Amino acid sequence: MTRPSVDEQLRELTRGVVDFVSEKDLRDRLTAAEAAGRPLRVKVGFDPTRPDLHLGHTVVMSKMRQFQDFGHEVVFIVGDFTAAIGDPSGKNKTRPPLSRAEIEAGAKSYAEQAFKILDPSKTRVEHNSSWLDPMGFAEVIKLAGKYTLARMMERQDFKTRYEEGSSISLHELLYPLAQGYDSVHLRCDVEMGGTDQLFNLMVGRDLMKEWGLPPQIVMTMPILEGINARFEDGKIVGDKMSKSLDNYVGVSEPPEEQVGKLMSLSDPLMWRYYELLSRKDAAELAALKAACARGEASPKDAKMALAVELAARFHGEDAALRAKAAWEKQFSRREVPDDMPAFSAPAGTTLIGGLVLAQLASSNSDARRKVEQGAVDVDGERVKDVRAVLGEGARILRAGRHYARLVVG
């Protein structure tokens, strides 16, 4: 198969990128690689500290897959050595190092989920312990001598902690150097990461210059917002995707859960997810967006297409289509499930209290948030009054895509 032109590759590879050092360098590197008949070597490192991934973790992986689809070599770095140090990015205190058993278990789970996005046959997996473990103390000193303390303290999280009087362990200062040396060892053309990784990626670029190597191109991808984020005044307002905030779509969740959560996205937020996660190319996406804007296509259908695409990525097309059919039966046709759980409540129970009793909310504050966001129905009618009191009798409550029967009185 003929590789797309440099311009065609750039159009897709730059989509959604936040920090880029630089587009001109990438164009030149792509042109030179094409002339030499070789692929670019693209490196991304992952410390296997999270056993369960959500869509926010997959944004960078989706960009890795684009490089693979264009015929380039992707190196998946399992940071089994650096995970033992602990990446201080965004941390306000020293993180306890992980045990070898925890690292190995995390690496296995991480890879199993990552290969639902990446092409295993086109992915080179490397463990950075294979070159960092054998380094002697003299080599570590030599590596540390390539960077100054003043430059290291320019990093925002170190600077903040220093100004607040919080502790910074010396081993944390070695983390960016260890990650940067990965790029030296592998002679990378490109390194990618989230926006919180910009400093570490730039250290790798600087170290490559110190070793007389062409500095790697640096690309960062945004941190994905959670499913309940909204657009206000042209800006996304909401927390980043997080399991602790219950605003996530998990990679290993059942397809019905994935489809249901993705169908709850606001229409503007849907396009953000399309841009960062879909494999539709820029031209297809622009055409779909324009058709929805003109009223020639339904945003709801576009949202379902995205939900099915992503569910199919993790569970296969048949499972995704079954999840679509189940959602349409339950929501589009206003049908409620036959097997919903049943609970009882005393007369005078408030809507907030009823949601907690029916296990549709984890707390009063969680219930209040769901009501305020318009995610709660009582007997098929949307209720946005947080002071509402449930009438006596059997009530069908819905919060998001979950139902419960609550007998009041």
- Residue 92 has a pLDDT of 47
- Residue 267 has a pLDDT of 85
pTM confidence score: 0.74
Would you call 216 helix, strand, or coil by DSSP? Answer: coil
Query: What are 127's two structure tokens?
Result: 């463990």
Would you call 231 helix, strand, or coil by DSSP? Answer: strand
Each residue of 373-402: b (16+ CB within 10 Å) or e? eebbebeeeebeebeeebeeeebebbbbbb
Identify which of 55, 73, 51, 52 has the alpha carbon closest to the alpha carbon of residue 64: 73
Other Cβ atoms less than 10 A from the Cβ of 286: the count is 11
Other Cβ atoms less than 10 A from the Cβ of 155: the count is 20
d(CA 76, CA 331): 40
- Residue 96 has a pLDDT of 61
d(CA 401, CA 168): 45
Contact between 177 and 146 (Cβ < 8 Å): yes
- Residue 395 has a pLDDT of 84
DSSP β-ladder status, 235-237 and 230-232:
antiparallel
Architecture of the structural domain at 6-221: 3-Layer(aba) Sandwich (3.40)
Contact between 376 and 399 (Cβ < 8 Å): yes
d(CA 282, CA 11): 7
Identify which of 317, 231, 331 has the alpha carbon closest to the alpha carbon of residue 272: 231
Question: Would you give the distance in Å from CA 133 to the centre of its chain?
Answer: 30
Contact between 179 and 198 (Cβ < 8 Å): no
User: Does 342-408 carry CATH code 3.60.130.10?
Assistant: no
Furthest-apart CA atoms within the chain: distance in Å: 78
The CATH code for residues 230-332 is: 1.10.240.10
d(CA 296, CA 55): 29
d(CA 26, CA 216): 9
* Amino acid residing at 137: F
Query: What residue spans of 15-124 are helical by DSSP H?
Result: 23-36, 59-69, 82-85, 100-114
Q: What is the full per-residue pLDDT of the chain (409 aa) written as tens digits? A: 567 899 999 999 999 999 999 999 999 999 999 999 999 999 998 877 666 789 998 999 999 999 999 999 999 998 888 877 766 555 545 556 667 787 777 778 888 888 889 999 899 989 999 999 999 999 999 999 999 888 888 887 888 888 888 888 888 888 899 999 999 999 999 999 999 899 999 999 999 999 999 999 999 999 899 988 887 777 888 888 887 777 889 998 999 999 988 988 888 899 999 999 999 988 999 999 999 999 899 898 999 999 999 999 999 999 999 999 988 887 766 667 767 788 888 989 999 999 999 999 999 999 999 898 888 988 878 888 999 999 887 788 988 878 888 888 7
Each residue of 178-214: b (16+ CB within 10 Å) or e? bbbbbbbebebbbbbbbeebbbbbbbbbbbbeeeeee
- Residue 95 has a pLDDT of 53
Query: What residue spans of 192-350 are helical by DSSP H?
Result: 198-210, 255-262, 267-277, 282-293, 299-315, 317-327
Query: What are 237's two structure tokens?
Result: 């307002």
Each residue of 13-52: b (16+ CB within 10 Å) or e? beebbebebeeebbbebbeebbeeeebbbbbbbbbbbeee
**Domain coordinates in residue numbering, the chain:** 6-221, 230-332, 342-408
Three-state SS annotation for 262-275: HCCCCHHHHHHHHH
Contact between 144 and 174 (Cβ < 8 Å): yes
